Chains A and B, each alone.
Chain A
Amino acid sequence: MTDATLENAPYAYVRKETLQQEPAPLSVAGPWAWIRTNLFSSPLNTILTLLCLYLVVDAVPGLIRFYFLDAVWTGEHRDACLADKVGRPVGACWAYIADRFQYFIYGSYPVSERWRVNIVFAMFALGVIWLLWNQAPLKKIGVFFFFVILPASAFILLLGGARAEGFLRFLILLSFALAVLYLVLSFVPSLARFWIGEGQLTVEQEMPAWQRFYRPKRLILIAVVVFGLLAVLADRVGLPRVDTGLWGGMMVTFLISAVGIVFSLPLGVLLALGRRSRLPAIQLLSVIFIEFVRGVPLITVLFMANTMLPLFVPQEYSPDRLLRPLIGVALFAAAYMAEVVRGGLQAIPKGQYEGAMSLGLGYWQMMRLIILPQALRIVIPGIVNTFIGLFKDTTLVTIVGIFDFLRTIEATLVDPTWATPTTRTTGYAFAAIFYFLCCWGMSRYSVAVEKRLAAGQKR
């Protein structure tokens, strides 16, 4: 019955006006109802809730007491953390972490040279933010910085010595030579005809001379500036050689993961393209490499890098002890990266390939300008997830004798200066917090990217 008929109803007992809405009954709204529906909705749920509450009440206060209330925060050596010396129950020994913090970051890197590591850390942070922050400007220069400038400068700064300085000199010469070459080309465009297409050349010729071919110029400029600064540093302060045997701590952990990502991503893209290639030999080799590496544990790859790599090269080129696991990790990560990138390549609709081909683009132009920018963008979450796995797997280098962060923790645990009953638990808790924060932060980032990408798909 509609309102109209109610209004006109001749019966006195039919209500003419609408009633006020009543508040929801307590059983479906408010905190009490929330507790009822979310915690005690059935006998089974009640039992589970009580069990979980018991678990929480049992564990959490103990943990808080151990890690915060009873913890020792300052001290010089083990006496600060021994219960009978302090005269009270002692929990976590954070004083030990504070005392050894520098060691956890730099390993045995000489104290007077640690500023070099700090510079590399800063450059690394800059590169990461540049690439990962969506609104950051000049992304292409950022890519160049992260994948070319950063590895070269990190090598020069961290290692130092004659070899690094020779490499630096070569890099500076190279960038200057390129700078001169591009300057000449900009002013005499007819010389550029050799490697710039006719069509593009006419576009470029319209511009003023200083704007022609201007993208590579910016890359060269940034290379000249960074390497020039390094040369000034090497000249004024000096970069004595620091053997890789002294490197350690978080620095090595970050180094391995950075090397892993810097080399595995381009290599993975090539392998993914190879796997989808129409040429049987290239496809077969890519498939063999990818499936082989993905089928064996990282630890065997590390053993292989450690024991077999020195056999495969002439004795005098025997790779450095730190370089071997780096190669192993990079190759290992490349295979996983290749599968992630392949997923992206397969997700690109065929029309994109056909459209690119119909425009007359060659294979590499099509990949570089049309396919890879789209494919890589949709697999960013996958790449980050692979990277999280890589970051956790860096701990495995401990087994082949590299002093990564976890190994420095283990090393301090056998040191009698801080030998107390709670040192081990504290050290492991610190390591767990470090890895958790890094990995969890990255996974949050990948979730955020996923959400952003999904938003683009919504209509």
Chain B
Amino acid sequence: MSSIPTETVTPGKASLFYDPKIRGYVYQIALLAVVAFLIWSAASNAIENLRAQKIASGFGFWHNAAGFDVNQKLIPFSASGGSTYGEAFLVGLLNTLLVAALGIVLATIIGFVVGVARLSNNWIVAKLAMIYVEVIRNIPLLLQLFFWYNAVLKPLPDARNSIALPGSIYLNNRGIILPSPQFAPGFEAVAIAFLIGVVAAIAFFIWARGQQAKTGRQYHNGWVALLLIVGLPLAVFFAVGHPLSFDYPQQGRFNLTGGMQIFPEFVALLIGLSTYTGGFIAEVVRAGILAVSKGQSEAAHALGLRSGPTLKLVVIPQAMRVIIPPLTSQYLNLTKNSSLAVAIGYPDLVQVFTGTVLNQTGQAVEVVAITMAVYLTISLVTSFFMNMYNKRMALVER
């Protein structure tokens, strides 16, 4: 179907039949005609089939009441409260974003630790890291999710015999029960202080960098940042008088009451995604570090830099240039892989929307199109920023 033009350069005048320009137009028009025909026939068939099956089309279902409940939700949602399919979509989307965001953080930590461990001069650490990477990367994610969910979390004891961990944390087959924080009025001040701290820390970094470029003097950036980001909110926290208490779960006769429940589906998905993607990130990190030639660190040592500054000023900046593009694609993979949630029943976008809503409304075209549009938007936005970053970071060559 995708006919490709001749790239031959025809000298002088030739017959129209051999003119590459005209051939090119003919090929393109033919291809466009085929694609247009395919789309037209698919659309007309779809309309006819939908009419035959008496399925409505259009996005009218968005405001219809959804007759189902979701266990994990970040916004209020209930069948009895008359929540709509549109709200179900939001619930699913937020759950996807939640597990993806936490997964990215955990996977990055695992990946960097394991990736550095693989290059360690400690034989046993390097070998263990290698075994981890090989095993994790060569087993399908779905099987790993089944393992975490069905073989690790489900066989935990029931609520009556919960395993108690230090800090009033309970573990049972309904998930993890944590003390839930109760925010008293006045806590907003702490949050605002935290934001101010972050902004101030960034401002200080910029100022310190300018000072260093001008005078060569270095400041204790890390300590200042710690003071601003952690110290300031803490000070405000005590100043307004502990606006935070915890609701501890109580072990009752049959059940646990109070506290905050983290569902086993979420835990299994989070563990599975972050360990799996962590294995891939480890390889990315290893490749990035190996990509910095040894001469770079040797030259830094020759200039008199100790190993700490060498790592910070010479090796890591160059390694990051190699690491970041594949790292971003791993983040995207993790986000896309979070759709496997449907297999273990975590209510993510695919499970709630492409699963339940599609089954209830039968409007496959609209539902699948919306779901794909969400993932596509995430991917395209990320690659847009990625390209911008690459342009900034690309080596400027002569």
Partner-B contacts on A (CB < 8 A): 37-39, 41, 45, 48-49, 52-53, 55-56, 270-271, 273-274, 277-282, 285-286, 291-292, 294-300, 303-304, 307-308, 310-315, 353, 357, 360, 362-364, 366-367, 388, 392-393, 395-396, 398-399, 406, 410, 421, 424-425, 428, 431-432, 435-436, 439-440, 443
Whether B125 contacts A49 by the Cβ 8 Å rule is: yes
The residue of chain B having its C-beta at the shortest distance from the C-beta of A308 within the complex is B364
Chain B residues with CB below 8 A from A277, complex form: 4-5
Q: Could you say which of B5, B121, B141, B336 contacts A363, with CB atoms under 8 Å apart?
A: B5
A49-B122, A398-B142 given; A300·B31 CB < 8 A: no
Cα–Cα distance between A398 and B365 once the two chains are bound (Å): 22
Q: Could you say which of B128, B134, B143 contacts A395, with CB atoms under 8 Å apart?
A: B143
A285-B31, A304-B372 given; A435·B354 CB < 8 A: no
A274-B2, A424-B151 given; A435·B139 CB < 8 A: yes
The residue of chain B having its C-beta at the shortest distance from the C-beta of A397 within the complex is B142
Chain B residues with CB below 8 A from A48, complex form: 120, 122, 124-125
Tell whether B232 is near chain A: CB-to-CB under 8 Å.
Answer: no
Q: Could you say which of A292, A294, A315, A395 contacts B142, with CB atoms under 8 Å apart?
A: A395
Interface of A is mostly: helix
Whether A432 contacts B342 by the Cβ 8 Å rule is: no
Cα–Cα distance between A57 and B378 once the two chains are bound (Å): 44
Cα–Cα distance between A396 and B343 once the two chains are bound (Å): 9
Cα–Cα distance between A39 and B127 once the two chains are bound (Å): 12
A274-B4, A311-B49 given; A38·B123 CB < 8 A: yes
Whether A428 contacts B151 by the Cβ 8 Å rule is: yes
The residue of chain A having its C-beta at the shortest distance from the C-beta of B25 within the complex is A279
Q: Could you say which of A39, A307, A432 contacts B139, with CB atoms under 8 Å apart?
A: A432
Q: Name 5 extra pairs, CB < 8 A, besides A45-B122, A313-B42, A406-B146.
A: A274-B4, A282-B28, A286-B2, A295-B380, A432-B147
Chain B residues with CB below 8 A from A280, complex form: 28
1/0 per position for B343-381, CB-CB distance to A under 8 A? Answer: 100000010001000100000110010011001101110
Of all A-B residue pairs in the complex, the 10 with the closest CB atoms, nearest first, are: A295-B379, A307-B364, A297-B336, A312-B42, A439-B138, A281-B28, A38-B123, A392-B140, A297-B339, A395-B142
Which one of B41, B139, B147, B155 has the highest number of Cβ atoms from chain A below 10 Å of its Cβ?
B139
Chain A residues with CB below 8 A from B243, complex form: none
Q: Which of B6-14, B169-177, B181-189, B198-206 contacts A (4 or more CB under 8 A)?
A: B6-14
Cα–Cα distance between A282 and B120 once the two chains are bound (Å): 49
Cα–Cα distance between A426 and B381 once the two chains are bound (Å): 43
Cα–Cα distance between A310 and B50 once the two chains are bound (Å): 10
Tell whether B302 is near chain A: CB-to-CB under 8 Å.
Answer: no
Whether B147 contacts A428 by the Cβ 8 Å rule is: yes
A279-B24, A315-B52, A395-B143 given; A296·B336 CB < 8 A: yes
Partner-A contacts on B (CB < 8 A): 1-9, 24, 27-28, 31-32, 35, 41-42, 45-46, 48-50, 52, 120-125, 128, 134-135, 137-143, 146-147, 150-151, 155, 336-337, 339-340, 342-343, 350, 354, 358, 364-365, 368, 371-372, 375-376, 378-380
Q: Could you say which of A38, A315, A363, A435 contacts B4, with CB atoms under 8 Å apart?
A: A363
The residue of chain A having its C-beta at the shortest distance from the C-beta of B9 within the complex is A357
Residue pairs across A and B with Cβ atoms less than 8 A apart, 27 shown, are A38-B122, A41-B122, A48-B125, A49-B122, A49-B124, A52-B125, A270-B1, A278-B24, A279-B27, A281-B32, A282-B4, A285-B32, A285-B35, A300-B354, A303-B358, A308-B46, A312-B46, A314-B45, A314-B48, A357-B7, A392-B141, A395-B142, A395-B143, A424-B150, A428-B151, A431-B143, A432-B143
Chain A residues with CB below 8 A from B337, complex form: 297
Q: For residue A291, give the distance in angstroms from its CB to the closest CB of chain B.
A: 8
Cα–Cα distance between A427 and B221 once the two chains are bound (Å): 53
Whether A313 contacts B336 by the Cβ 8 Å rule is: no
Cα–Cα distance between A363 and B2 once the two chains are bound (Å): 14
Q: For residue A438, give the distance in angstroms from its CB to the closest CB of chain B.
A: 8
The residue of chain B having its C-beta at the shortest distance from the C-beta of A40 within the complex is B122
Chain A residues with CB below 8 A from B138, complex form: 388, 435-436, 439-440, 443
The residue of chain A having its C-beta at the shortest distance from the C-beta of B368 within the complex is A304
The residue of chain A having its C-beta at the shortest distance from the C-beta of B154 within the complex is A424
Cα–Cα distance between A187 and B27 once the two chains are bound (Å): 36
Chain B residues with CB below 8 A from A55, complex form: 128
